[in-house]
Structure 1
Amino acid sequence: MDRREIAALLAYIGRIDPRTIRTEKGEAADQLAQWHELLGDVPTATPYGWDALAAARQHTRTSPYQIQPADVVQRWEKYRRGRLARHSDPTPSVDPDDQAAWAKELVATRHAVAHGTLEPAQAQAIESGREEINPRLQARLDQVGSCIPPAARAALAPYRPRRAAREAAVAQGLPDALSVRCAWCLAQPGESCRRRRIGPDGGARGTAPCATHPSRLDLATAQQAQLTEQTQQPALA
């Protein structure tokens, strides 16, 4: 606020709280200089919710104490912090390899949000329901059959042998034992079976990965047969 805006603010405060009125010319000048020194970087109003007159009115309504410049500054700082807390930095429009320009645009956007001249950018929520896939991406997925290309999958096989063994079994038409819950060790789908470590007192000390329990493989085989039967019934009908 400039000196004219400060004078208008003091005149408004004087109307709602006569205690702030200074009748002596020297006192009025000192009061104006003090408020301008402390509120010079605080705007009178912004397009998105800030109003110094409303802040002064709210203080007078809720506090029995005479308003001070710090009371307006505190409300302004609370307004700025609230806007920045709701802001999620959007991706700058400049070249990401230009670090100086990238940082400059981020800082300028945050400054505009904090000072009420730009609305905070909200992070987009994850929507339920499926969106249409880009045709080029769908064509690529149809070509490779998976989001992981075959060459990359083969290169990763030595580093994840269990996953490679499962994929090889499924490719041969065999059941995937890890697709069902193990009734023996209670391992959840996708988790390897585990065996208990028993202490000298007979109590369980922990668990360790182990080979798939036969009952789990039998359950996966039965489930696969059931699904195959359900798939064939409509065709026979």
Structure 2
Amino acid sequence: MDRREIAALLAYIGRLDPRTIRTDQGEARDQLAQWHELLADVPTATPHGWDILVAARQHIRSSPYQILPADLARPWDSYRRDRLARHSDPTPSADPDDQAAWTAELAGTRRAVAAGLAEPAQARAITSGRDGIDPELEAMLEKVDSCIPPAARAALAPYRPARAAREAAMAQGRPDALSVRCEWCKAQPGEPCRRRRIGPDDGVRATAPRATPHPGRLDLAAAQQAQRTTQTEQPALA
């Protein structure tokens, strides 16, 4: 605010609280200089929510003490901090290789938000479900039934034999052995079976993942699959 705006502010405050009125010309001049020194960087109002007259009126209504310049500077500082806390820097339109222009645009946006000249840019929320998905991407996912293309899946198969065997079994309609716990090696569901390396003293020295599950795990998965099939068919027959 300039000195003319400070004078208008003091006149407004004097109407609400006569204690701030200075009748002596020298005291009034000193008061104007003091308030201008402390509030020179505080605007009268901004397009987005700040009004120093509202801040002054709220203080006079809520506090029994005579208003001081700091009572208006503090709300302005809180206003700036709140806006910057809610601001997520958008990607500048400047060339990223031009570091000076990139930084200048980023800093300019922040200054505009803090000064109340622009609204804070909110970060885009991650939406749940399949709402708003690109139609082309959705058609591709329905076609391949996976986010990994078939060619990439085939190229990865030698490096993950357990998963490749599991996918092949499921594609052929066989039971998924990794859906149950292995009673032999104690592998948990989703984990491949492991083979034990026995030392000369018959102690287990180490374990290594197997490319194929243990036969007992296959039998258990087949039994559970048959049980689920029977439970599904019974209501239909009833």
Task: Tell me if both proteins adopt one fold, taking TM over 0.5 as the criterion.
Answer: yes
Q: What does residue range 115-194 of structure 1 map to in structure 2 within 5 Å?
A: 115-131=115-131, 133-138=133-138, 140-141=140-141, 146-157=146-157, 159-179=159-179, 182=181, 187=188, 190=190
Report Cα offsets for 1:25-45 as digits up to 9, x if no partner.
122112111211211111111
The aligned counterpart of 2:57 is 57
The aligned counterpart of 1:104 is 104
Give me the whole-angstrom Cα distance separating, in 2, the residues matched to 1:121 and 1:54.
Answer: 25
The aligned counterpart of 1:21 is 21
Give me the whole-angstrom Cα distance separating, in 2, the residues matched to 1:16 and 1:157.
Answer: 80
CA RMSD of aligned residues (A): 3.6
The aligned counterpart of 2:222 is 221
Shift in Å, 1:101: 3.0
**For residues 228 and 7 of structure 1, do their structure 2 counterparts lie closer, same or farther at Cα, with a shift above 3 Å needed?**
same
Query: Greater shift after overlay, 44-53 or 89-98?
Result: 89-98
Structure 1 residues not aligned, in runs of 5+: 195-207
Structure 2 residues not aligned, in runs of 5+: 195-206
User: SS state of the match for residue 123, structure 1?
Assistant: coil
Report Cα offsets for 1:179-207 as digits up to 9, x if no partner.
45x496694x545679xxxxxxxxxxxxx
Contact map agreement 1:192 1:209 (CA 8 A) in 2: no
**For residues 232 and 41 of structure 1, do their structure 2 counterparts lie closer, same or farther at Cα, with a shift above 3 Å needed?**
same
The aligned counterpart of 2:87 is 87
**For residues 121 and 132 of structure 1, do their structure 2 counterparts lie closer, same or farther at Cα, with a shift above 3 Å needed?**
closer
Give me the whole-angstrom Cα distance separating, in 2, the residues matched to 1:232 and 1:99.
Answer: 67
The aligned counterpart of 1:41 is 41
TM-score normalised by length of structure 2 = 0.72
Name the amino acid aligned to 1:80.
R
Give me the whole-angstrom Cα distance separating, in 1, the residues matched to 2:233 and 2:102.
Answer: 58
Shift in Å, 1:121: 2.1
Give me the whole-angstrom Cα distance separating, in 1, the residues matched to 2:222 and 2:99.
Answer: 56
Contact map agreement 2:182 2:214 (CA 8 A) in 1: no
Shift in Å, 1:130: 2.4
Name the amino acid aligned to 2:103.
A
User: SS state of the match for residue 89, structure 1?
Assistant: coil
Based on CA coordinates, which of the two structures has the bigger radius of gyration? 2
Shift in Å, 1:118: 1.3
Query: Greater shift after overlay, 212-221 or 19-28?
Result: 212-221
Give me the whole-angstrom Cα distance separating, in 2, the residues matched to 1:48 and 1:209.
Answer: 64
Shift in Å, 1:109: 1.9
Query: Greater shift after overlay, 66-75 or 162-171?
Result: 162-171
TM-score normalised by length of structure 1 = 0.72
Query: Greater shift after overlay, 169-178 or 79-88?
Result: 169-178
Give me the whole-angstrom Cα distance separating, in 2, the residues matched to 1:177 and 1:74.
Answer: 66
